[in-house]
C-alpha cells in the first residue's frame, strides 16, 4: 500500500509536542515521524497555518437520530458533521425511533451506520426487557448500555443490564437525573430550578445502590454532568464522568432567555454562572475524565416553538472540538486537551490507545489555531445552535486510519469510510 505524508506546525504524539513535524502513513498506521526540515513534500502540508494535530477526537455521546427520526438528522449527515468538526469516532445513543431496546432495532441501527457512516462509530443499547435480550445485545459489537432516568424505576431490568455488561466487559452509561425530584412542571424558563442539581446526585447514588444489590461491578460512566457536585460524587463512587461544552461554557443567564430560549433547551438544563465556572474548574483540575458533545439535533421548526414545548438538545458536531480547544488550551495545554477529547474517551470505551507515533493508528484531528466564529457548515440538518457567532477554532483536516476524509477547503472527501470501532473488543 502506498504511503503519504501529513505535515503540521504542531504534532502531539500522545506524549510530547513536536514542532514542524510530518508523519508518514502506510497501511492505516503511522510508519515514521519526521521533525523539521522536510520540504517540498507530496501530501497534505498544513505548516504555516497554525495547525495542531492530536490523536483523533472521540465523542462519547451523540444522537445521530436516523431510522424514523431521519428528518432531524441521519447517520450520513451526522457523521459528515462530525468529520467537519474533527471528530473521528462517535458513540450513538439509543433513544431513536424505534428505541434500541430490542435486538431487531439494534440490528437495524447497526446496518444503517455501516451503510452511511463517514467516520468510525459505535452504539449504546437501551435497557431491554429481559436478561437474555441484554446478553444477546452485548454480543453485537456495542460499546455498552445507556440507562435513562425513566429506567431507574425498573431496578430488576437495570440489574440485568449491569450483569450483562460486567460479563461482556462493556460500559454502562447513566443520564443522571431522578424525575421524582423535579420541582414542578417545565415552563421553559429557569429550568435549572425545576430540574435541580440534587436530582443528578441522587441518580448517581441510586445506580450505585442497584449495583450493590446485585453484586455487580461493571464499568459505569456518568454522562453530561451539569453540576460540580455530580462530578465529585461520581469520582468518589469510582465512576468515570464527562461534561459537555454547553454545561462548561454556557449558562442559562447567557443563553436561556428571550425568543430563542428553545434553541438552548437541553437536558440536563443549562445551569447558572456559578455552576458553570465550578464545573470548568473541575475540568482543569482533572476530575472530569472527558468532554462529550451530547449532539442532539432537531428540525428548526421544532426548536422555534415555545420553549416549554420545544424538545431538548442542540447540535455540536461541526464545532465542539475547536470550541473547547479555544477555551481550554491556554489552561490545560495540548496534552491536557488531547486527554480530554481523545485519549481518555478511548480508555473509557476500552479501545486501543490514541497516539500519533510510529506504529500507532493514523487517526488524527488537525485543528487550525486561529480564532473564527461558529457558523452553520451545512452538514448537519439542524440549523440552529446557541453557540452561533461565538469564538472558536476550526477543523483544518480529519484523518481516519490514514485517509483524509475532510479538509476545510475541499469539504468531505470520498464516501462511506466508518467502521464499528468496538466490534473487535468483544
Catalytic residues: 294
Alpha-carbon span 269 to 257, nearest angstrom: 13
Alpha-carbon span 125 to 114, nearest angstrom: 16
Alpha-carbon span 195 to 193, nearest angstrom: 5
Q: Which residues contact 51 (CB under 8 A, 6 or more apart)?
A: 8, 9, 10, 366, 367, 368, 369, 396
Alpha-carbon span 335 to 16, nearest angstrom: 8
- Answer whether 367's CB lies under 8 Å from 322's CB: yes
Q: Do strands 364-373 and 391-400 pair parallel, antiparallel, or not at all (unpaired)? A: antiparallel
Q: Do strands 240-243 and 219-222 pair parallel, antiparallel, or not at all (unpaired)? A: parallel
CA dihedral sign of residues 177, 319, 219, 136: positive
- 178-181 long-range contacts, Cβ below 8 Å, gap at least 24? 178/149, 178/152, 178/202, 178/203, 178/206, 179/149, 179/150
The string of DSSP codes covering 134-187 is HHHHHTTT--EEEE-GGGGG-HHHHHHHHHHHHHHT-EEEE----GGG--S---
Q: Which residues contact 359 (CB under 8 A, 6 or more apart)?
A: 29, 30
Alpha-carbon span 423 to 410, nearest angstrom: 31
Q: Which residues contact 409 (CB under 8 A, 6 or more apart)?
A: none
Angle between helices 273-285 and 320-338 (to 10 degrees): 40
Amino acid at each position: 500500500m502506498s504511503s503519504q505524508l501529513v505535515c503540521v506546525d504542531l504534532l502531539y504524539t500522545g506524549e510530547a509536542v513536536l514542532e514542524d513535524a510530518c508523519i508518514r502513513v502506510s497501511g492505516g498506521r503511522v510508519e515514521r515521524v519526521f521533525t523539521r526540515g522536510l520540504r517540498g513534500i507530496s501530501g497534505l502540508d498544513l505548516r504555516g497555518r497554525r495547525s495542531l494535530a492530536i490523536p483523533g477526537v472521540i465523542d462519547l455521546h451523540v444522537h445521530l437520530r436516523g431510522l424514523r427520526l431521519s428528518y432531524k438528522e441521519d447517520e450520513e449527515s451526522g457523521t459528515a458533521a462530525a468529520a467537519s468538526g474533527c471528530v473521528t469516532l462517535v458513540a450513538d445513543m439509543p433513544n431513536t425511533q424505534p428505541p434500541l431496546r430490542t435486538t431487531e432495532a439494534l440490528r437495524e441501527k447497526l446496518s444503517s451506520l455501516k451503510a452511511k457512516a463517514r467516520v468510525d462509530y459505535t452504539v449504546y443499547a437501551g435497557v431491554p426487557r429481559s436478561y437474555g435480550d441484554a446478553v444477546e445485545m452485548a454480543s453485537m459489537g456495542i460499546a455498552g448500555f445507556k440507562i435513562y432516568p425513566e429506567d431507574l424505576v425498573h431496578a430488576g431490568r437495570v440489574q440485568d443490564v449491569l450483569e450483562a455488561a460486567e460479563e461482556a466487559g462493556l460500559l454502562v452509561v447513566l443520564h443522571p437525573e431522578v424525575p421524582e425530584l423535579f420541582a414542578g412542571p417545565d415552563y421553559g424558563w429557569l429550568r435549572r430550578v425545576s430540574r435541580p442539581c440534587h436530582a443528578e446526585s441522587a441518580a448517581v447514588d441510586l445506580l450505585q445502590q442497584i449495583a450493590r444489590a446485585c453484586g455487580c461491578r461493571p464499568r459505569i460512566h456518568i454522562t453530561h454532568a451539569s453540576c460540580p457536585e455530580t462530578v465529585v460524587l461520581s469520582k468518589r463512587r469510582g465512576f468515570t464522568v464527562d461534561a459537555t461544552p454547553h454545561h462548561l461554557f454556557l449558562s442559562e443567564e447567557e443563553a436561556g432567555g428571550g425568543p430563542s430560549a428553545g434553541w438552548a433547551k437541553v437536558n440536563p438544563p443549562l445551569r447558572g454562572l456559578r455552576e458553570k465556572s465550578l464545573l470548568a474548574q473541575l475540568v482543569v483540575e482533572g476530575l472530569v475524565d472527558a468532554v462529550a458533545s451530547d449532539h442532539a439535533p432537531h428540525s428548526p421548526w421544532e426548536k422555534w416553538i415555545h420553549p416549554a414545548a420545544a424538545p431538548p438538545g442542540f447540535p455540536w458536531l461541526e464545532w465542539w472540538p475547536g470550541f473547547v480547544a479555544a477555551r481550554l488550551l491556554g489552561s490545560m495545554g495540548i496534552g491536557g486537551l488531547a486527554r480530554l477529547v481523545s485519549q481518555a474517551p478511548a480508555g473509557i470505551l476500552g479501545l486501543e490507545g490514541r497516539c500519533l507515533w510510529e506504529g500507532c493508528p493514523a487517526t488524527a484531528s488537525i485543528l487550525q489555531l486561529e480564532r473564527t466564529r461558529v457558523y452553520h457548515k451545512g452538514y448537519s440538518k439542524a440549523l440552529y445552535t446557541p453557540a452561533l457567532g461565538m469564538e472558536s477554532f476550526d477543523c483544518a483536516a480529519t484523518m481516519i486510519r490514514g485517509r483524509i476524509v475532510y479538509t476545510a477547503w475541499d469539504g468531505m472527501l470520498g464516501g462511506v469510510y466508518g467502521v464499528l470501532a468496538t466490534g473487535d473488543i468483544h
